[in-house]
Amino acid sequence: MNLSELDKQIVVELQSGLPLVSRPFAVLAERLGISEEELISRVQAFQQAGIMRRIGAALRHRRVGYTANAMIVWQIPEEKINAVGEQFSQLPEVTHCYQRVSLPQWPYNFYTMVHGHSRDECQKIAEKLAQMAGCNNYRVLYSEAELKKSSMKYFMD
C-alpha cells in the first residue's frame, strides 16, 4: 500500500490519539478536511493492508501489576532457531520473540521478552523456556529502570 500525503496526515492524527468524544472520527475528519465516512473507510483500509494493527490503548504495565520485565538472551544453534521460535511464540508469558544478529562481543542470537508480576515469576519462566529449548546458554537481564517508553511518532522525524 502506497501512502499518499493525506494517508500520512491520517497516521499522524491517529497516533496522537483518538479523541474522547461521542464521534471521534468526525473530529479528526474535520481537522483533516475530509468526511467522517471517508476517514473511517481509509482507516479500515489501513487495517486491511496491515499497516495499522488496530486502534487501541497502550497501558503502563507497571500500573496494572506487571512490575517485572526481563529480556532473556539466548545462544541458540542456527538449525534450531525455527523450532525454538515457533515453540516460544506459543507461550502467553513470552511477549516478544526475535532472532537477532550476534556479535563477537555479544554472542547471543535470540531474544525473548518476558513480563511478570515478580522477578521470581520471570525466573521460573526462563527456566521453563530453557528446558523446552534444551538450551543452557542464556542470560536473564532484568530491567532496573525504565528510562523511556513512548509510542513512535511516525512522519514527524
Positions 3 through 32 that interact with other proteins (CB under 8 A): 3, 11, 14-18, 20-26
Q: Which is nearer to other proteins, 33 or 92 (CB)?
A: 92
- How far apart are the C-alpha atoms of 53 and 60, rounded to whole Å? 19
Angle between helices 24-32 and 5-16 (to 10 degrees): 140
Could you tell me the end-to-end alpha-carbon distance of the chain, in angstroms, rounded to an integer?
Answer: 21
* CB closer to other proteins, 31 vs 153: 153
Residue 89, φ and ψ in degrees, nearest 5: -65, -25
Q: What angle do CA 76, 144, 132 make, to 5 degrees?
A: 25
Kindly state whether residue 146 participates in binding other proteins, applying the rule CB under 8 A: yes
Sites for other proteins among residues 98-137 (CB under 8 A): 98-103, 105-106, 111, 115
* In the complex, least distance from residue 117 CB atom to other proteins, rounded to whole angstroms: 8
Among the listed ranges 55-63, 120-128, 129-137, the one in contact with other proteins (CB under 8 A) is 55-63
Backbone angles phi, psi at 110, to 5 degrees: -145, 135
Q: Does 144 interact with other proteins (rule: CB under 8 A)?
A: yes
Residue 43 CB, nearest distance to other proteins (Å)? 5
